[in-house]
A and B are shown apart, each in its own frame.
Chain A
């Protein structure tokens, strides 16, 4: 069943503050259409500045698009009244983990905020849930009382992930969710997301620049460039065989996985 349907979405940031005289606006998204089926993951790739985060914000209801429609579980997200349950069913992990959290809240209160809003748990149950969530993202119960500035970049990223999965929503918009994680923790998080997907039918919009991570979790793949969804693949195999210039450039830019196969011009010293 289709969980999310994006139809002909066009969005531009008005730039009145930018250039006071001209009333020019920059088009960030042009005529975007795609669907995410229940229990599947759409991996979204594309150059920096292409509009990936903007698309995420539009889907989350944070940036009203100029044109187009977004249907989540059949409801128009920008209609006058939307059921409260819909908000609960869509969660997010923002690209910038620092501005996504309130610096004056402990990890425990950050993670339990959605639980408090939507689920009436006893304090003991809530504490247990938070501890369990911390464990699942590779942190420990003793981290519960710490504040955002007392965490490392990757730890804070995982706290944001714990918050997003707390309610076990239907859709999570994950904007570069593993960008700050070492390979061991990255594997842990990708495994966790895959488990939630297969066990509870969670769906994801997985925004990433990391082709390997996209491959590890996505069912379908899209490529956004300059605000346009230039490619949409039903399978990962189609991406592999694609000869679109943007995709080819991506594949050619993948870094060496051993110093022997370095590609940087002045670094290819033989040893």
Chain B
């Protein structure tokens, strides 16, 4: 076990960070928002933490809180102009948001180190911390799924007009989804910068966007298991597909196309749905036999 851990520690850590970013991406999609802003939130959290940790004496713990709060606040603000947009236009607007953040990071050289980024960030985060934070995030996501908020998100994703006919304030719930997406993205961005020693704007570019999307598409957009399965596949795949290492991005591309075409709910969601269906079938059987018994008595 211990040996396994040391051999695979980088992969495990990568997996945990991917899960975290995956939840940030998932919560938006789950609420029916085509946001790809997670990269921007992660960049905000990560730079906030890196700058505070390297240039000020703010306690590390507090830097993460501040990074999370900053990304959450920006997420909430971002939701306001986006309130009127839907579908492809949301995707484009959030993409523009990421580009604006990245170019400001490049521009603010004195503060952000420009293209070279920030080096010498204290390495305060390890596997256990990541594990605990992922666990807490999952707990919150689980609660959301079982509460009224989860029901509202499901309704918004599937049929917005129904939700508003039942009193759902669409704008308010989009703001909530963006705040959560921002907070989770910023939180894991902060952890990432305390893990990797060095960050640069490039880390949060197109490749990041694609990776996070891939995690959620492979895993699933609605269940707790989704990002875990997605991140797991993304972490293990390079190990299995070693011979294709040079074509890793192409392999990812092929998998994206295959999954979205033939398994559109994603692996994790499909697993959960399968168990759900089996349970339903059992309950039905149960009820039918109960009914039979009752009919036999009367």
Q: Tell me if chain B binds chain A.
A: no
What residues of chain A have their CB less than 8 Å away from a CB belonging to chain B? Answer: none
| Chain B interfacial positions (CB closer than 8 Å to A) | none
